Amino acid sequence: MKVRNQTELSEFLLLGFSEDPALQPLIFGLFLSMYLVTVSRNLLIVLAILSDTNLHKPMYFFLAKLSLRDIDFTSTTVPKMLVNIKTQSKSISYAGCITQMFFFLLFGGLDDFLLTVMAYDRFVAIIHPLHYTVIMKSQLCAQLVQLCWVISVLNAIIQSFLILRLNFCTHVEIQHFFCELNQEVHRACSDTFLNDGMMNFTAVLLAGGPLSGILYSYSKIFSSIRAISSGQGKYKAFSTCTSHLFIVSLFYGTFIGVYLSASAAPSSASTAAASVMYTIVTPMLNPFIYSLRNTDMKRALKRMMFHKI
């Protein structure tokens, strides 16, 4: 592999959302608030699941992992953006940019795969309720999470090494608030054919594959629910899936929308604003969705809060 000449480029410039100085305090306050809500609420979900034995089930095991990944996912991008706004700087070092991109791909992939595993958990719970405890053993749950990690790490490593082979010009501006893979690749001065091919391949395999698995699981779930004779039984079965369905729709809807718009206009500033939906807003809303729609979770949160009081 060709070693990159460090004298060519020492940093990238993250242009963010606006260069208007008057808007910087507003942007800083807004994103700091969203970040603090995301971290605190997701951490609260994790603590509630750990402290309540009634939530020591596969469904909540995966939810705790998802909440931790949402904290990591948001922490990959927002703190650096807040520091840049506070210091009135747009720069991020070359090494820092590659590192940020690596962890963004890692935690974003983990979110994607954990949502798929959670769909499989609901599939087993509704299609094979009598065998649920036999199938969804703690060992299998741990193995599924480990598989999510392995695939996500491999993808992040491959994409990062492909970036390292590129040459960049001495002045590189990224119309984003973090080092996003697609924009970084298209700022290179060298040939990006291999990078584009790998991005397209992983988009189909690592995004289309899990989404297909989720859609297949829910097609079987809906068929099974329709076969239930009582209305109360249908409602009970469907209610166990609504929170997960909402999060899947929010995550994939915003993610696909952003990357379709990015392919049409890779340098558009609107892409950065739209990316806020799946990088910050979705992780922030996930704990609210699960706590508001889940009776067991609400009960556990109340018990934990009153116990502390």
Q: Write out the DSSP string of 19-78.
A: --GGGHHHHHHHHHHHHHHHHHHHHHHHHHHHH-GGG-SHHHHHHHHHHHHHHHHHHTTH
Residue 88 region, left (φ>0) first, then alpha (ψ -120 to 50), else beta?
left
Q: What is the pLDDT of residues 13-58, one digit of tens each?
A: 998 887 788 888 999 999 999 999 999 999 999 999 998 888 999 9
DSSP state of 265: -
Task: Say what the pTM is.
Answer: 0.90
Choose between 106 and 205: higher pLDDT: 106
What is the Cα–Cα distance from 64 to 43, expressed in whole angstroms? Answer: 9
What integer best gives the mean pLDDT of the chain? 86
Q: What is the mean pLDDT of residues 193-213?
A: 90
pLDDT of amino acid 2: 43
Q: 158 is written with which tokens?
A: 């491959």
Residue 2 region, left (φ>0) first, then alpha (ψ -120 to 50), else beta?
beta
What is the Cα–Cα distance from 170 to 98, expressed in whole angstroms? Answer: 16
What is the Cα–Cα distance from 270 to 273, expressed in whole angstroms? Answer: 5
Is the pLDDT assigned to residue 6 strictly greater than 60? no
What is the Cα–Cα distance from 164 to 286, expressed in whole angstroms? Answer: 34
* Residue 196 three-state SS: helix
**Beta strands 173-174 and 11-14, pairing class:** parallel
What is the Cα–Cα distance from 122 to 117, expressed in whole angstroms? Answer: 9
Is the pLDDT assigned to residue 230 strictly greater than 90? no
Q: What is the pLDDT of residues 253-305, one digit of tens each?
A: 877 777 666 655 555 566 777 788 888 988 999 888 887 667 788 888 888 77
Give Cα separations from 272 to 80, 217, 254 (angstroms). 15, 32, 12
Q: What is the mean pLDDT of residues 174-192?
A: 88
pLDDT of amino acid 26: 93
Give Cα separations from 245 to 57, 174, 222, 253, 286 (angstroms). 19, 33, 12, 12, 11
Specify the CATH number of the domain 11-308: 1.20.1070.10
Asked whether 278 and 269 are in contact (CB, 8 A), the reply is no
